[in-house]
Each structure stands twice: as structure tokens, then as C-alpha cells.
């Protein structure tokens, strides 16, 4: 983006230089050149913002993927055990938790965590 004064205060030669840097037409009167350069600058700003958003989204996705990977590794009963619990309904999970003597309250995720912890204790025993 141009760090010089706004496009309205630029001289025609400066406008043409900036337009030629961008591969745009340099013909026309000053108001036409200003309009063309403003349009190009807005387009560049949108592309920069989109690139920044894509980069942030990719980073967020990587963090979520790492978190899910850590969560699946936490269950010493094995990944299969955690996946088995995650496929179960909340009602089924509560029955399983009750059978193992684990608290049946909370969200599905919390119950799965408790069951995995219960599996960890069973494996140690």
C-alpha cells in the first residue's frame, strides 16, 4: 500500500507511477487516475485482509487438531476406548458411568473424561 499522502493530494506523475507499478492503465485525467488507484488500493487491502484471515484460520485449525489429538491420547485405555465412548449417547454413557461407580452428571465430554480416567485406574489395578 502507498505510504505517500492520500491519492487526492498526489500529483499526476505520482499517480501514474503508482498505477504503472500495479500494471494498470496510466491514461486519463487526474480524477480518473485517482479513482483507478483508489480502487486498486482497496483491492490490495481486501486481499491482505483475506490472506491474514486464512493464516489465522489455518493456525486455529492446527490448534484444534492438536487439542483433539491430545484429548484422544489422554485415555490410557486406548484411543479405541475413547472413540467407543464418544460414539455412545449421553444416556448410554451415564449407564456405563453408573456401572463403574463414576459420577453421571455433566456434559458428554465430561462423562467421557471420567470414564477414561476410570479406565486408567482399572488398567493400573
Q: Read off the DSSP letter of residue 9.
A: G
C-alpha–C-alpha distance, residues 92 and 55, integer Å? 40
C-alpha–C-alpha distance, residues 19 and 41, integer Å? 10
* Other CB atoms within 10 Å distance of the CB of residue 3: 4
Structure confidence at residue 16 (pLDDT): 94
Structure confidence at residue 1 (pLDDT): 45
Low-confidence stretches of the chain (pLDDT beneath 50): 1-4, 123-125
Structure confidence at residue 66 (pLDDT): 61
Structure confidence at residue 3 (pLDDT): 42
Q: With the CA atoms of 23, 27, 29 and 30 taken in that order, what torsion angle do they form, in degrees rounded to the nearest 10?
A: 20
Query: Tens digits of per-residue pLDDT, 106-121?
Result: 999 888 888 888 765 5
C-alpha–C-alpha distance, residues 14 and 41, integer Å? 14
C-alpha–C-alpha distance, residues 103 and 62, integer Å? 32
Amino acid at each position: 500500500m502507498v505510504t505517500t499522502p492520500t491519492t487526492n493530494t498526489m500529483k499526476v506523475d505520482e499517480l501514474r507511477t503508482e498505477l504503472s507499478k500495479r500494471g494498470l492503465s496510466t491514461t486519463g485525467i487526474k480524477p480518473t487516475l485517482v479513482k483507478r488507484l483508489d480502487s486498486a488500493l482497496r483491492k490490495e487491502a481486501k486481499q491482505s485482509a483475506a490472506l491474514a484471515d486464512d493464516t489465522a484460520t489455518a493456525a486455529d485449525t492446527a490448534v484444534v487438531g492438536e487439542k483433539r489429538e491430545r484429548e484422544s491420547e489422554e485415555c490410557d485405555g486406548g484411543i479405541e476406548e475413547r472413540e467407543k465412548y464418544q460414539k455412545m449417547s449421553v444416556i448410554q454413557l451415564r449407564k456405563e458411568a453408573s456401572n463403574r461407580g463414576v459420577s453421571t452428571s455433566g456434559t458428554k465430554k465430561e462423562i467421557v473424561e471420567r470414564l477414561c480416567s476410570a479406565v486408567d485406574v482399572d488398567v493400573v489395578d
